[in-house]
Structure 1
Amino acid sequence: MTDNNAKTQDNLNLEEFMAKYDKESDYRRLKGSIGLAVTVLAIVFSLFQLYTAVYGVLDAQIQRAIHLSFGLALVYLLYPARKSWSRSKLHWFDVLMAVAAVTTPLYIVISYKELVMRAGIVTSTDMLMGGLGILFVMEAARRVVGWPIVTVAILFLGYAFAGPYLPGAFAHQGATISGLVGHLYYTTEGIFGIPLGVSSTFIFLFILFGAYLEKTGLGKFFIDLANAIAGWASGGPAKVAVLSSGLMGTVSGSSVGNVAGTGSLTIPMMKKLGYKPEFAGAVEAAASTGGQLMPPIMGAAAFLMAEFVGTPYVNVVKAAALPALLYFTGIWIGVHLEAKKTGLKGIPRHQLPKVGVILKERGHLAIPLVVIVYLLVSGYTPMRAALWAIILAIGASMLRSSTRISLGDIIRGLEEGARSALGVIIACATAGIIIGVVTKTGLGLKLGSALIDLAHGQLLPTLFFTMITSIILGMGVPTTANYVITSTIAAPTLVQLGVPVLAAHMFVFYFGIIADVTPPVALAAFAGAGIAGSDPMKTGVNASKLAIAAFLIPYIFVLSPSLLLIDTTLPKVLLMLTTSLIGMTAIASAVAGYFMTHVQGLNRLLFFVGGLLMIDPKLLTDLIGLGLLVLGLAMQWAKCKKDKHTIQAGKGFPNL
C-alpha cells in the first residue's frame, strides 16, 4: 500500500511539474458523467482516425475539417479560458465555446458541395463562419500552445492588411477582409493546408502509437537499457540521460515532455553522483531537445518536411540520421569531458541492471519500433506503417505477462492519444494562418531577399542571419509549428542562394528546435532546472554549451550536403564524419576547458579555431585546422608532463 501511495504521489508531482512548464499538460482532469462524456469524445476521435486509416481518408477538406472539429471541441473542454479556473470542474463558458467552435469547421463539411460549386466567391455567411473559425483556432492555440505562436499569427494578419502602407521591399497591395478569410479558411492554402492535412493523417497515428508505447513501459525499458550500457562509465548517469533521451526521441514529440519523462530519473542520479544542479538539468535539456532531431519522427516534423520539400518520407529520415548521431555524440563528448574535469565516477556495476536480463525480459517492447522503420524503408506509407505499429505495440506487450496491457489500457490509450494530439492539431491549424499570409503576400521571398541584401549576397553571413531568425521564431513554439513557421519564413532565403531545398529546411528546423535550450526563452532548460532545483538561466547557458554541436552541424550540411546523403559517396561521407567529429571534440574541449588536462588561454583558442576549421568541409581549412589542433595537443602533452596530478586525473585521449 505504501509503495502504491508513493507511486501515486510521484505521478501527481510529475503532473504538477508538467503543467508548470508545458502548456499542453495543464489540462482538466474531469470525473463523473462529464469526465466520461469527454473521454468518450476523445475515444471516438481516435476511432475516426483509425477508421479513415483502414478504409481510406475522406476528401481533403472534409477530413481536415472533421479532424479540426474534434480538436477544437476537446481543447475548449479540457483547457480552461483562464488560469485561475478549476482543473477538476467544467465551466459553462468553455462548454459554450466548444459548441460554437465546432460549428465553424463543420460548416465546411455540411456546405462542402455548395462551397466547391462557387469556389472563390465568399458570401456573408461564409465570411461570418470563416472569421469566427479563425478566431476560434487562435483562442484554442492560446489555451493549449501558448502566446508565442498566437502573437506571430496576429503579427502576420496585421502584415496582410498593412501592406500598402509599408515602405520598401516589404510593401504589397494588401488584402481585404473577405479575400483574406476566403484564402485562409476556404482553400487548402491556409488553416486547412498541408500542416493540418498531415496532422489529420500521419501525425495523429504516430502520436497514438506513442501513447501505446508509453502504456507498454517502453520509456522505462529505454532508461534501464541506457543504465546498463553507460551507467558504469565516467559521469555514468549523465551519459544515461543522453542515451535514454536519444532513444525516447525516436517516439517523443516534445522536448519538455522528454525532460520530464527521463529527467525525473536521470537528474536526481546525476546530482547524487556529484554533478552541479545546473549542469544536471542542462544535460537532460540538451539531450531531450536533441530527441526532436532524431528520426524517424523528429517531433512529427519529418512528415511535414517530406510534404513541404516534395521528397519521399524515407529520404527525410535518411538525411536526418547522421546529423542526429553527430549531435548526440557532441553532447556525449561534453558530458565525458566535464566528468573527467571534475573527477566524477560512474555507478558501481553491481548496482546496475544487466543488458542481457533487460533484453530478455522487455526487449520485445522494441519490436514495433524496428518494424515501423522496416516498413517505412520498404516503401509503406507513413499512415499504413503507423497503423501496423499500433497493432504491433499492443501485440508485443502480450508476449509477457509482466508487460501485458489490459483492455482498459487499450481504451485509455485511445483517449490519451487523442488528448496528446491536441497541441499538434491546433499548432498546425494556427501555422496554416501564417502560411496563408505568406502565400498571399509573398513575404517569404521578400524576407529572403532582405536577408541576402543584408549579407551582401554572401552565404555564410546569410546563414548566420537565418540562424538568428530561426531561433527567434522557434522560441516557445512546439516542434511541429516550429518547423512550419521557420520553413515558411526562413528557408526560402537559403533556397534563393542555391542551397538544396532539403538542406535549407533541415537548417532552419535545427535552429528552431535549439531555441528550446537557448536563453532567454529556453523551455527545455527551464524544465530541467525545475527538476534539478537550479537557476534557470545558468541551466540554459550550460545546455547551450552542451548543445554546441547543434549550432555547428547545420553549417556542415549546408556547406557540404553530403552529410544529408545528397549526391555523395561512402568515402566522402566517412571523411566528413571523421573531420566533423575531430572538430566537435576540439570545440567541446575549448568550451569545457578540459581535454587531457585543463585547457586555458592560447591552448583553448587553438582548439576552438582549429575545431571550427575542421568542420568546414574543405581541404585547405582541414589542413590548417589539423595543424592548429596538433599544436594544441602538444601544449596539452607538455602541460601533463609538468603536472603529475593532472596526468592521473585525465590521462590520454578521452575514452569516448
Structure 2
Amino acid sequence: METAKESVVEKYQEDAGKRQLTGFWFMVARTAAVAMAIFHLYTAVTGPVNTQNAVHLLFALPLIFLAYHCRVRDTQRIPWFDVIPILLSVVISTYYVYHFDRIIYQLGYLMPTTLDLVFGVSAILLLLEACRRAIGLAFPILVLIALAYAAFGQHLPGVWGHGGFRWDDLVATFYLGPTGIFGSLMRTSSTVIVVFIMFGALLVTTGGGDTFMRLSNAATGGMAGGPAKAATLCSAMFGSISGSTAANVATTGVFTIPLMKKNGYSARFAAATEASASTGGQILPPIMGAAAFVMADVISTSYLDIISAALIPALLFYLAIWMSVHFEAKRLGLNPIPKDQRPTLREGLFNVETLLLPLVVLITMLVLRYTPTTAAVAAYFTAMVLYLVSPRSQGTLWERVKTLPAALEAGAMTAAMIAVIIGSVAIIAAVISITGLGLKVSSLILMVSGGDVMVTLLLAMVVAIILGMGLPTVAAYMLAASVVAAAFVEAGLPSLSAHLFILYFAILSGVTPPVALAAYIGGAIAGSHWFRTALTATKISLGGFLIPFMFVYHPPLLGQGTKLEIAMAVASGVLGIIALAASTIGYFARPCSWVERGLLLFAALMLINGQAITDVVGIAVIAGIFVWQRYFSHAAKGGRPLARSPSKEPL
C-alpha cells in the first residue's frame, strides 16, 4: 500500500511539475520555506508589518521557481536559467518594500517611474510563469486574455469595448495600485490564509491524515458500503483543512479507492466517490479551500458569518454523497468490512485529541469574536504543543521536534502557491473593475433572463462552472465572482447567498466534464476512464448542484431565521437530498423503476424553494414511494431483482 501511495503521489507531483531537489538547492528551498513560515507565524502573533504583502510575495515567488521546474529533465536540479526568475522575484518585491512609503503617498494619483514600469512588467510576467508551473497553462492564458482586453478592448465594437488605457497606467495599476498585485486580496493571503494553511499542514504532517482514516474506518466499517462512507468522512475531514481538491484526492484516494474496490464497488464508482468527497472539502468549514477568507474580504463580512452560513449546506452536500454510496451498496448487496479487518472504535479514537482540541480552540475563539488570524495561530500552537507532549504521538521527543520543520515547509509551499494565484487573480479582478466587464456580463445575463431569478441562477451556474474549470478553489471563485456577482446584486439577491452560490459551482467544475481534475486523478488511481469517472462523480455530486438553489430560495438553510424555520429548512433539505440520491442511484427502500426514479427526482425539485405547498407535495411523493416499495411493490412481495455484479456496474 505504501508503495502504491508513493507512486501515485510521485506521478501527481511529476504531472504538476514539482521538483525533487537534493543537496544545496534542497537546503535553499527548505530554508526559504521555513523562514517564510516563521515570519508569518511571528507577524500573526505580533501584528502584520506595513510591507506584509510584499514580503509575502518576496518569499512566495522564489519558492515556486525553486519547487516547480520548467522542463521535465530538470526535476532534480536548478538549471542556470531558473536562477534568473528566482533572483528577479526577490528584486521586484524588495523594490516595492524599499519604495513603499512613496507608493502609499502617491495612492490616488500614481506617477510611475521608469523603474516602476520595468519591475511592474517583470512582476506580471513572473506571476504568469509561476502560475503556469504550479497549476498549469489554463489560468495564465485567462490572465493574458484579461490583459489583452484591457490593452486593446477599445477597438471592440459595441458595449464590449471600453475607453482605452495607456499601458503605463495599466502597469501602475497592477503593480502599485491598491487593487493590484500587492493589494487587498494579497493582504488576505498574507495575514489570514497563510496561517490557516500552516495549521492544516501541521495537522496533516504530524499524523492527522492517518488519524482521519483510522477514525473514519472505525466509525463506518460496520455499515453497508463502509469503505465508501469512510472515504466520505476522511475526505471531508482532510479536505476541510487541506485547501486543495487535487491534493486531497491524491493523498487519501490511494487508501480509500482500493478499499472501496475490494468491498465490491466498481473502479469508476470508487474513484468518483473520492473525487466528489474531496471536492466537498472546499465548501466545508473551517478553511473552505481558503475561499472563505477571500469572500469575507470581497463582501465585507466576518469570516465567522461565512463559515456559519456555509455549514448546513456543506453537511447536506456530504449527506448527498453518503446516501449515494449507501444506496449503491444496498443495490449491489455489499457487506460491511469484516470485524477483524477494521479498527475498533477505541483504536479509531487513539490520539484523536491532538486533532480535536486544536479545532475546538479555533472554533471557540472564532465564536468569541477573536480575529481569524488570532484564532488560527492559537490553534496552531495548541496542536504543536499537544503533538510534542502527548504520550500517544509517534517517536521520541527529538524525532517529533525534527518533524516540525517539515510541517513548516509543507505549509509554506502551499501558501506560496496560493499567493501567486491570488496575485494573478488580482490582475484579472482589476481588469474587470476598470473596464466594467463584470457589469457588462451581468447585464447580458439579466437581459437574457428577463429578470427571472431562476433563469439568472441557471445562467450564472453555467458561467461559474466554465470559468472554474481546471483552476484552484481561490482562483475559480474569484474569477467567477468578478464576472457574475453583479448580476445577483441587480437581481436583488443577498451578497452572502450569491457568493456561496458562485463558490459551489466554481468548485464543482472539479468533477464536471470536460476538465474534471479531481475525477482525472481519482480515475488514474482506480484504473478507470477519467471521463466516465467524471460523469459518475457528477451524478454522485448532484446534490451539490441542487443545494445552492435551495439556500438561495430558502435562506434558513444558511442559518438565517428562527430556530423553527432553520429546523424546517434542514428537514426539507435532508428529504430532498435523500430523494435525489435515490433517484440517481435507482434504489430507495427497494430497487426503483424508472417511474419511481422520475417521481423521486420530482419530489427533490419540489423541496427546493421551501414553500409550504411544494414541501407538502414533495414529502407526500417521497412517503408514497417508500410505502409502495416497502409494502406493496413486486420486490416487497419476494420478487426483488438480483443486484448486478460489481464488475458490471453501469455507473
Q: Please classify the TM superposition score into its range, dividing by the shorter chain length.
A: over 0.9
Q: More displaced, 169-178 or 510-519?
A: 169-178
CA–CA separation in structure 1 for the residues paired with 2:394 and 2:46: 31
The farther-off stretch of 586-595 and 550-559 is 586-595
Q: CA–CA distance in 2 between the matches of 1:363 and 1:53? A: 25
Instruction: Return closer, same or farther for 1:390/1:149 CA change in 2, 3 Å cut-off.
Output: same
The 2-side partners of 1:254 and 1:360 are apart by 26
Deviates more, 1:344-353 or 1:133-142: 344-353
Counterpart CA distance in 2 for 1:76 and 1:583 is: 48
Q: Give per-residue Cα distances to partners, 1:516-548, cap 9 Å, x unaligned.
A: 010111011111111111111111111100101
Distance 1:626 1:37 in 2: 62
The change in CA–CA distance for 1:241 and 1:401 in structure 2 (over 3 A counts) is closer
Aligned-residue CA RMSD (Å): 1.9
Structure-1 separation of matches of 2:25 and 2:451: 60
Residue 262, structure 1, aligned to residue 252, structure 2 = yes
What CA distance in whole angstroms lies between the structure 1 residues aligned with 2:623 and 2:196?
A: 48
Alignment counterpart, residue 332 of structure 1, candidates 322, 330, 339: 322
Aligned CA distance change for structure 1 residues 642 and 47 (closer, same or farther; 3 Å): closer
Letter in 1 for 2:605: L
SS at match of 1:250: helix
How far 1:634 sits from its partner (Å)? Answer: 5.2
Look up the match of 1:654. Answer: none
What corresponds to 1:121 in structure 2?
111
Q: Give, in angstroms, the shift of residue 632 of structure 1.
A: 3.5
- Alignment pair present for 1:40 and 2:18: no
Aligned residue for 2:224?
A: 234
Task: Work out which of the residue numbers 630, 633, 638 in structure 2 matches 1:639.
Answer: 633
Q: Percent identity?
A: 38
Distance between the aligned counterparts of 1:34 and 1:610, measured in 2?
60
Pairwise mapping of residues 304-315 of structure 1 onto structure 2 (< 5 A)?
304-315=294-305
State the match for 2:367 in structure 1. 377
2:627 corresponds to 1:598: no
Matches within 5 A, 1:160-559: 160-397=150-387, 398-403=389-394, 406-559=400-553
One-letter amino acid matched to 1:219? G
Change (3 A) 1:122 1:361: closer
In structure 2, the residue matched to 1:100 is 88
Report if aligned partners of 2:4, 2:254 keep a CA contact under 8 Å in 1.
no
CA contact (8 A) 1:282 1:539 kept: yes
2:58 is matched with which residue: 59, 62, 69? 69
Q: Secondary structure at the match of 2:349?
A: helix
Residues 208, 630 of structure 1: CA spacing in aligned structure 2 closer, same or farther, 3 A cutoff? closer
Between the aligned partners of 2:66 and 2:339, the Cα distance in structure 1 is 49
Is residue 22 of structure 2 the alignment partner of residue 28 of structure 1?
A: no
CA contact (8 A) 1:216 1:365 kept: no
Shift of 1:630: 4.3
Unpaired stretches in structure 2, ≥5 consecutive residues:
645-651
Secondary structure in 2 aligned to 1:101?
helix
Is residue 629 of structure 2 the alignment partner of residue 628 of structure 1? no
Distance (Å, rounded) in 1 between the aligned partners of 2:92 and 2:267: 48
Query: In the alignment, is the contact (CA less than 8 A) between 2:206 and 2:407 conserved in 1?
Result: no
SS of equivalent to 1:296? coil
Question: Does 2:601 align with 1:612?
Answer: no
Aligned residue type for 1:169: V
For residue 123 of structure 1, report the CA deviation from its aligned partner. 2.1
Q: Distance in 1 between matches of 2:636 and 2:221?
A: 33
Deviation larger for 628-637 or 30-39:
628-637
Q: Structure 2: how far apart are the matches of 1:360 and 1:92?
A: 49
**Per-residue CA shift, 1:605-632, capped at 9, x if unaligned?**
1111121112221122223333433443
Partner of 1:3: none
3-state SS of the aligned residue for 1:521?
A: coil
Partner of residue 49 from structure 1, selected from 40, 47, 50:
40
Q: Using the TM superposition, name which of 541-550 and 26-35 deviates more.
A: 26-35
Count of aligned positions: 637
Which ranges of structure 1 fall in alignment gaps of 5 or more residues? 1-5, 651-656
Residue in 2 aligned with 1:135? 125
Letter in 2 for 1:581: V
Mapped to 2, the partners of 1:128 and 1:627 lie a distance apart of 68
